[in-house]
Amino acid sequence: MTDNNSDKIMVTGCRGMVGRAVVDLLRLDGDREVVALDRQALDITDEKRVVEAVGDLRPGAIINAAARTDIDAAEADVHVALAVNGRGVRNLALAAERYHVFLCHFSCAEVFEGKSSTPYREWDDHWPRSRYGESKDAGEKMLAAIWDGFVLIRSGWLYGAGRDNFVDRAAAALRAGEKVRAAGDIIGAPTYAGDLAAAAITLSDARARGYYHFSNDAGDGVSPAELAREIARLTGMPETLVEEVREADLERAPRPAYAVLRLEKFREMLPGLVRPWRDALAAYLSGS
């Protein structure tokens, strides 16, 4: 629509790990108008409020970082996760379609079954193993069914400022000289939320359409135990503090055994934004 403001970007879920990183990066550009909305300002599960907000603001783009990401909580009560990750995405898609607003949305590797031995491609079949994965898959399907003016970015094991995550927990425990139990039999790609935010903004600015995979480059993947040992090395603590266990020993909701995403499509468009996982982790832990 001609009355949308192309320099105005609406960010939902602005207090979360990814939303916070997106807003911080956007605000470095003084030419943008950033409308940062937390859950109190806009509950995306409320269709009427979402449509009214988008109609009033008329942004050029929406970056949806609102999500329920607690995998274990979703396993115990999937309804809350489905409300946000499924119906909330539907509501944003309906509003975006009505006002012709570009929509950037985030998903994850948990939509895949995890039985592959090679990184997942954007078009591979979905067979989520957890209720959380089912909720993210539901959001993906509703978005695609409603509005074609979107980019959907699936990512890996996220860490960053603003929310509880494995990297921060492990670093704090190791610095205190405490043991860290981490699975050695599941594989993924640790990904800094700031790098994902940069990827999302760049794809949104380019009005890229469809599905993209983005993570820090972990090759064929690393285990949480390997990640924890790298955190120990970077924090100057002994790697012997890391106790490698089986995923089944951790008594939590199932994770995909293999959750690595293929990055070729993103690399072809924006090769400079993909950096090795060890480099991203070192920069985050050093505060640089």
Does the annotation mark 120 as catalytic?
no
Give CA separation, 58 vs 43, 55, 95, 246, in Å. 18, 5, 10, 49
Secondary structure element (H or E) that encloses residue 243, with its range = strand 242-245
Cα–Cα distance measured from residue 197 to residue 195, given in angstroms and rounded to the nearest whole number: 5
Q: How many CB atoms lie within 10 A of CB 133?
A: 29
> Which are the contacts of 242, defined by CB distance < 8 A and separation ≥ 6?
174, 179, 180, 182, 225, 228, 229, 232
Secondary structure element (H or E) that encloses residue 64, with its range = strand 59-64
Instruction: Kindly give the pairing relationship between strand 242-245 and strand 180-183.
Output: parallel
Question: In this structure, are residues 257 and 224 in contact, taking their beta carbons and an 8 Å threshold?
Answer: no
| Per-residue buried b or exposed e for 141-176, using 16+ beta carbons within 10 Å of the residue's own CB | ebbeebbeebbbbbbbbbbbebbebbbbebbebbee
Of the residues 99, 120, 132, 284, only one is catalytic, namely: 132
Catalytic residues: 132
